[in-house]
Structure 1
């Protein structure tokens, strides 16, 4: 017997890995800059103009 009340079916969704520092990370399978042996601070310093240009494209 239908009473007109819609009850959504709950789905089990896969959740991203939650690390101990509280940041949610998705495992992309690609190594990070640090894992590749690249110093992040140097990378940002050397590519500052490129990073700023890419950021402006997202706004």
Structure 2
């Protein structure tokens, strides 16, 4: 039986929070100094409408 010593696979980095992250080279909203929680609160209705439109 062949058992490889190392497995080489192409996959995104998986961090501790379980989300796959792709390095796009662009700064995140938080790194740009944007308060994401406030952005979501201010645009909640718009975000909900967009999400409903994709169903």
How high is the TM-score relative to the length of structure 1? Answer: 0.63
Q: Which runs of 5+ in 2 are unaligned?
A: 1-7
Q: How many pairs are equivalent?
A: 48
CA RMSD of aligned residues (A): 1.7
Q: Which runs of 5+ in 1 are unaligned?
A: 1-11
Deviant stretches of 4+, over 3 Å: none
Point out the structure with max Rg over C-alpha.
1
The equivalent residue for 1:52 is 48
- 1:1-59 pair list within 5 angstroms: 14-59=10-55
How high is the TM-score relative to the length of structure 2? Answer: 0.67
